[in-house]
Chains A and B, each alone.
Chain A
Amino acid sequence: MKKLYIALTALTLTVASCSDSYLDETPYSSYTSDAITDQLGINASIVGIQNSFSNIYTKSDRQGWLSVWQVGTDVASAGGYESIEVPYYNYEKLTASDLGASSIWSLCYKVINNTNILIDNLEQNELPSVTTENKNKALGEAKFFRAYCYNMLATLFGDIPLQEHAVSSAKTDYTRTPIAQVNEFIVNDLAFGSQNLPDIDDVASNSGGKMYSRANKYMAMQLLGEVYIRMNEGAKAEAVLKQIISSNKFSLTKARYGKDIAKDGDYYHDMFIYGNQRRGQGNKETIWTFELENPSSVTGGYTGAPQHRRVWGAAYHNVKGMVLCDSLGGRGLGRLRLSSWLTKSLYKDGDIRNSKYNIHRDFYYNDPANANFGKKIPFQGADTLYWICPSTTKWYCFDEKDTYGWSSIKDWQMMRFGETYLLLAEAQLLQSHLDDAAASINELRKRAFVNYPLQGQVSASDITLDFILDERARELIGEENRRMTLMRTKTLVNRAKLNHDQKYPITGLSDTHLLLPIPLSEIQLNKDGVLDQNPGYTN
């Protein structure tokens, strides 16, 4: 019997350890969406939305990503290209399998899902600890980012699947929603944001001060203005854009300010120096600056690896006798170069936006050990094409601890009051209010030309869509997504004709390219629904 007791005891001990909950699964190290019930959780969700939004600009597995939105247009050509951007100037290579198109598609829908998760949570759950006002503020922020991404998708792809709520299980039966319906959805989101988002100086604060990179209502208004223009609603656009102007919260920068005030430079350039770019740093022209920090001092300073400097900056360091330095903007790769049209014929004399501080043109040997030290580098050989090409200084940045500079650590100028006037002029042109449009442009000209009105003044007879697009290039080069602007205005084909660059010329461009191809992988994975391809594209 003794044996039996031993056996039974052992059996009992081991079996007793197994209760019903033995197989329950709890993720120890992850939050789930059920856990977002209070203001802290909501704040974290909004940061998460912005985090996923920033991935649109920091994708770095393909380093030519940012070039996709600039080359093959009037303003830029390929230089030291990677390869993702090749179909964006050799347009005949742009197919439904294109990586550029599928990347922007996925990146936008990821942000949209994140906004939907928060919006569903706020609209469908009680959340007793959150005030209605705070709820609406959070809804406004989420809806702003949702609208921002839907606007990108609508501009680039036309009719698109409209996912209005968070996805909770596999879904593969999407169809393309007509663009009018998409636009209405975007307008609703932005109208809500315009009303419920805080005024710019009422944004929430943290221990570093006011969080100006959280959404404010003028961001929603500026975007709404652009959406109305895309919808041919000139009057509505004008009305909403004028609200930004009449708020008197913003002003065009017309005097020097900020950290480099003692150095050579000009006031336009001051806005694009890291340390001067934020409203809290004295920039009264910015409506929205997306903030980046050096992760060596602030953990999680940015997502991905922003490639802006490497894409926009010249690769001068390839020239023997040149060393990397801050005044030349650190290490660029010249993945794109400004078109000759932009650098040679766009700007008029006296335009500060074309000053040597803003568009760098001449390079001098800067290695003291080199025999040619101090002499100007001649243009010779094919490589100087992007080694010492003229470049905008808007993305110049230099980290002496990391001269190789895998990432460019500099704030992004997302929305600027200067553009408000450009959009306003476009809205007025839509209504054929040419005098008003000229007046709007002249607001920018007063700032750009020190000798205004002797230089720079425009009149109603100057105003055409092409003129406004020219002016956008002058004002916003390096800032605006040029491809999106030209696709929005359906002018890509004609505008690209201005770019006569012989090296890596634009080929194969046609009206087909006023919309991007719906990604083939999406068509194929969406097996229970039909996503029609845009005309002119083959799979």
Chain B
Amino acid sequence: MYQVYLRKDKLSKSILVLLVFMLLAPLNLMAQNQAIKGVVKDSKTNEPLIGCSVLVKGTSTGTITDLNGEFSLNASGKSTLVFSFVGYNEKVVAVEGQTNLTILMVENSEMLEEVVVVGYGVQKKSDITGSVTSISKERLSDLPVTNVLQAIQGAAAGITVTQTSSVPGDAPSVLVRGQNSINANSGPYIVVDGIPISKSGGTLNDISPNDIASMEILKDASAVAIYGTNGANGVILITTKRGTSGKPVIRYSGYAGVEGYAHMLTPRNGDEYIEKFKWYKQQRGESQDSPVPNYGELDNYNNGNETDWIDAVSQTGIIQDHNLSISGGAEKIKYYVSADYTNEKGILKGYQYKRFGLRSNIDANVTDFLTIGTSLYLTNHNKDGGRVNLLVASAMSPYGQMYNADGSYKIYPMEPEQLFATPFLNYGNDVERRSFNVNANGYAEVKFGGIFKGLKYKLNVGYTFIPTRTSKYAGRSANDQLGTASIYNSETNSYTIENIVTYSKDFGKSHFDFTGLYSAQERKFNESTAGAQGFVNDALSFNNLGSGATQTSKSYADKYNALSQMGRLNYSYDSKYLATVTVRRDGSSVFGKDSSKYGVFPSVALGWNIYNEGFMKKFEWLDNLKIRASYGKSGNEAISLYQSITKLSNNRLPFSGISTIGLSADNLGNAGLNWETTTGGNIGIDFGIFKNRIMGTIDVYKSNTTDILLKRSLPTITGYENVYNNMGETSNHGIEVTLNTHNIKSKDFNWRSTIIFAANKNKLVDLYGDKQDDLGNRWFIGHPISVIYDYVMEGIWQVGEDVSKQDPTAKAGDIKFADLNGDHVITAEDKKILGQTAPKWTGGLTNTFTYKEWSLNIFLQTAQGMLKNNPDYSYADEAGRRNTPKEVGYWTSENKSQTRPSLAYTNTRGYGYANDASYLRIKDVTLSYNFRPEMISKLGLENLTAYVSGRNLYTFTDWVGWDPEAKHDTRGSGSWEDNYPVVRSFVFGVNITLK
């Protein structure tokens, strides 16, 4: 949403500022010799415009209007004056000897009305025909987030944001209107200032949330169709702040605060640990000759020393962010320059994230027909540091020994147990994780005149350079007796070139807007890793790989290209009847040489502003009513490169002591690969009633995705595990509701609410053309794409129960699975679909209370109806060898648990322990105070807001574990070494604008 407020409104509220201007006004008068005087007024209201810029054309002489809208300056009688004011059309007036001028400025209607960025242009909100969600301003400021997506979780209907990792600097994942694709990327296409960041190698982590002016999400087929093969998963458009004419605005926004565990999954203490081991031995049928599993724990056990390992690996997290921006501009040139610094010290030792960013957005009217501009930014990320391991810390025996006699960390605290080394194993490692994003975008726009009036040509060019480096060294302290070092470097170079032609024309009450596009995109990527092993000692770290005994190196390079053409026609009649027609043609290099590499994606959308009809005037309580309908086609090409080509992988094997290169089959390519197509329709209604006290948007949609880029599992008889094919069909339908209400409206106290609700139903329609399930891949026709298919746990087998009729091989303490097919044994046929892994619905509720200068904002966020396998329930054969969380119980013959198996249970059936992962979070609470001008004026401030904010304050959930949303991998799988708890943060922040 891009709303321009009028400076005069703001100032008129403040008597103090008036006084200041009164003081300034005589100064202006005093400076003149041969005065040209005048007054500037609004053409409609006839009210004086305060602070309007007046410039003598071709000179640097100028002034601004005073409190009465009056100005005076020195100029020759033949000069020309240029008047400019935010929200008004520029006015050029020849003096022609006059000494007292009255200037009437005309409001710029396009800017006054809410405009929405729609891709390759902007549109008045009232003219929008597709389903476009704008993120509210409140979610874009005063929140301790390092990535803007963290701020919009639950705040925009139809956008599912999941923060699976809270590691400082990790980005959340986003899904728009459910999952279309199975194997291809399902994340939305992200465009920043007109240039896609999605395929450039950059991420939203590169954009400081403070620099974001607006954020729009295109959801329905018509809105996304203009992005063709990149549109099917939705499009996020981000516009950064730009300068406006007028005096410079210097603004500082900053916050700092502390972080801690949002939820602690407490391990067992000493007594509970001893008790568990006793049961473990008993349940395994083994005699117990020691109270603790390992002799390395005996000393501490005998001396009664317990260690809180979680506490030992934790620290108080500190997060801070500082953003300084200067924006402003003169008649012909406008600028926005900002610097941003973020520093997050994680709550686990060794985790940290630093980001430094610079941005420079400049627009210049070079001539009356040519405008050029740039958006330049540079972002530097730093995630250095050897890290502790949370999973290992939670597995440590409370009687484990942390230190050696010399004070160094003991490698195996539970000697001789070597499955779990100390959680500090990698803490002392030298690690540097760096990346940069150097981004240079520029445009040139030519306005044509004469018979070509209304025609514009815009050349939009974006270039991105992203170098990254990860350097690592692990030595003796990490139990690497050789010393191992590696340096990874990568470089991504990408460019986008867009030629955009727009033409607008009015015929009577009809208004036409045409947009044409021809664009090309390229991304080149290369990476290399150099490694060495066998160092004399640890002194040189990774700084001299040549001093290692064995050297390894590898590298990789690839290239991606795309070509696009697009045309869009917007038509409106009398602001009542609206239509949009678009066609896009896209070609992409990722498709097979035996296919056409091109796809064509048309769409159409219609809108009816019923409110503007004469017959609606009698409904006085109604302030807005619009109906929208759209239908269209978009595509998805988001598979990794070279899937259409059968390749060999290179490997090595030694012969007679000589390392020798080998080539073996890598992947099975499919030369016929092509895009997947999503066809969908959307019907929406926008309304406002009771003087807009209640405003809302409701959308219902349905989309079908066909020719899915399916990574189809193959029988391994083929020698391959899978191949990409265009096959199958999925569908999504759902409803999205956004309601903004102004519950209490009074002079001093106001209560506003925003309610977001979105439900999506995802379904596999077909896979291989025969409507048959694919059990091997766990894909079931008529069910969501991602489901949990597993046994049904009925309880636990108790001592003395007869297992023979249900699961003849079960023992007491084993999980009792339902014998669904009644054949008196538990086989794979007793599995069924237990539920889906995507939430059935998501929602958010924002309540904002303002009392005078105080404002309290409470934001709740929820995701409901999803199942997730619980890694903290599944320790396989490790349950007796490690400590486990207090909350995760175990069966004994005494407690007769019906929920947890015995410690001897080895889970040979691979049961996943699916649990309901629904949750409701008190996500953000922000209390802010906006200082009254008279309080801060002496400090030279125009605006000062101070706030305290708390994030992830409480979570309501039945989930047993660290967090229902966060991903915690089991030992040895995925990114288990970076398991990280969800953090709760409290920050204090200020926003300052200098006068």
Contact = CB atoms under 8 A, between A and B. Distances in A.
Interface in B475-501: 479, 481-482, 497, 499
A539 B829 CA distance: 7
A23 B589 contact: yes
A381 B287 contact: yes
A161 interface: yes
Interface string A35-61: 110000101111111111010000000
A527 B774 contact: yes
A11 B562 CA distance: 17
Contacts of B250: none
Interface stretch (A112-120, A123-131, A478-486): A112-120
A301 interface: yes
Contacts of B652: 47, 51, 299-300
Contact of B557 (A28, A87, A161, A508): A28
Secondary structure type dominating chain A contacts? loop
Interface in B648-683: 648-666, 668, 670
A48 B651 contact: yes
A23 B587 contact: yes
Interface in B548-583: 549-552, 555-559, 561-563
Contacts of A347: none
Contacts of B657: 208, 291, 293, 298
B713 A525 contact: yes
A121 to B, nearest CB: 11
B662 A3 contact: no
B444 interface: yes
A4 B479 CA distance: 70
B659 A167 contact: no
Given A27-B558, A318-B416, A525-B714, A83 B459 contact: no
A105 B662 contact: no
A524 B776 contact: yes
A526 interface: yes
Interface in A12-33: 14-15, 17-18, 22-33
Given A10-B499, A33-B646, A331-B418, A296 B550 contact: yes
Contacts of A3: 369-370, 446, 448
B719 A22 contact: no
Interface stretch (B308-316, B346-354, B637-645, B856-864): B637-645
Contacts of A361: none
B718 interface: yes
A168 B645 CA distance: 11
Interface in B419-472: 444, 446, 448, 457, 459
A93 interface: yes
Contacts of A26: 559
A280 interface: yes
Contact of B658 (A206, A520, A525, A539): A206
A467 B664 CA distance: 42
Interface residues of B, number: 102
A112 B668 contact: no
Contacts of B661: 44, 47
B369 A297 contact: no
A397 B655 CA distance: 20
A170 B650 contact: no
B883 interface: no
Given A83-B907, A95-B827, A106-B716, A47 B662 contact: yes
A154 to B, nearest CB: 14
Contacts, number: 301
B33 interface: no
Nearest to A96: B828
A24 B774 CA distance: 34
A331 B444 CA distance: 69
Given A10-B499, A525-B713, A163 B663 contact: no
Contacts of A7: 446, 457
A86 B714 CA distance: 27
A494 interface: no
B876 interface: yes
Given A163-B717, A212-B656, A280-B656, A110 B828 contact: no
A536 B823 CA distance: 14
Given A280-B656, A303-B651, A402-B482, A47 B717 contact: no
Given A83-B876, A170-B723, A44 B662 contact: yes
A110 B716 contact: yes
Contacts of B777: 525
A371 interface: no
A458 to B, nearest CB: 39
Nearest to A28: B557
Contact of B714 (A33, A105, A170): A170
A281 to B, nearest CB: 10
A525 B651 contact: no
A455 B843 CA distance: 84
B518 interface: yes
B793 to A, nearest CB: 17
A211 interface: yes
A33 B774 CA distance: 31
B289, B518, B556, B657 — which one has the most chain A CB atoms within 10 A of its CB?
B657
Interface string B269-287: 0000000000001000011
A95 to B, nearest CB: 6
B645 A172 contact: no
A297 B549 contact: yes
A213 interface: yes
A351 interface: no
Contacts of A245: none
Contacts of B60: none
Contacts of B659: 293, 298-301
A520 B664 CA distance: 27
B655 A291 contact: yes
A206 B660 contact: yes
A280 to B, nearest CB: 7
Nearest to B652: A300
Contact of B479 (A174, A296, A382, A404): A404
A114 B827 contact: no
Contacts of B240: none
A213 B657 CA distance: 11
Contacts of A114: 664-665, 719
B772 interface: yes
Nearest to B445: A7
Contacts of A170: 668, 670, 712, 714, 718, 723, 725
B597 A23 contact: yes
Contacts of A401: 481-482
Contact of B877 (A22, A83, A402): A83
A292 B654 contact: yes
A92 interface: yes
Contacts of A50: 653, 662
B656 A539 contact: no
Contact of A97 (B289, B589, B715, B828): B828
Contacts of A52: 664-665
A90 interface: yes
A50 B497 CA distance: 48
Interface string A76-115: 0000011100110010110111000000011001101110
Given A114-B664, A170-B725, A214 B655 contact: yes
Nearest to B419: A333
Given A214-B655, A383-B286, A82 B645 contact: no
5 contacts: A29-B558, A171-B714, A205-B656, A300-B659, A382-B286
Interface of A: 3-4, 6-7, 10-11, 14-15, 17-18, 22-33, 35-36, 41, 43-52, 54, 81-83, 86-87, 90, 92-93, 95-97, 105-106, 109-110, 112-114, 116-117, 161, 163, 166-172, 174, 205-214, 280, 291-293, 295-303, 317-320, 331, 380-383, 400-404, 508, 520-522, 524-527, 538-539
Given A114-B665, A214-B655, 9 more contacts: A54-B653, A97-B828, A113-B719, A211-B656, A291-B656, A298-B550, A298-B659, A521-B776, A538-B827
